[in-house]
Amino acid sequence: MRPFGYARDPLCLLSIGLYALNRWVLNPALEVPFLARHFNDLLLIPAALPPELRIQRKLKWRPRQR
Segment 42-47 shows an average pLDDT of 93
Q: Which residue range forms the structural domain that includes residue 25?
A: 7-58
Phi, psi of 44 (to 5 degrees): -60, -50
Q: Is 45 inside a domain boundary?
A: yes
Alpha carbon 4 to its chain centroid, in Å, reads: 15
Which residues neighbour 56 within 8 Å (Cβ) at sequence distance 6 or greater? 62
Q: Is 26 inside a domain boundary?
A: yes
Q: Is 14 inside a domain boundary?
A: yes
Confidence of residue 49 (pLDDT cuts 50, 70, 90): very high
Confidence of residue 7 (pLDDT cuts 50, 70, 90): confident
Q: Is 44 inside a domain boundary?
A: yes
> What is the total count of domains within the chain?
1
**Side chain identity at residue 16, one-letter code:** I
Residue 15's pLDDT is 95
Q: Is 32 inside a domain boundary?
A: yes
Distance CA 17, CA 61 (A): 29
Does the pLDDT of residue 45 top 90, yes or no? yes
Residue 66's pLDDT is 65
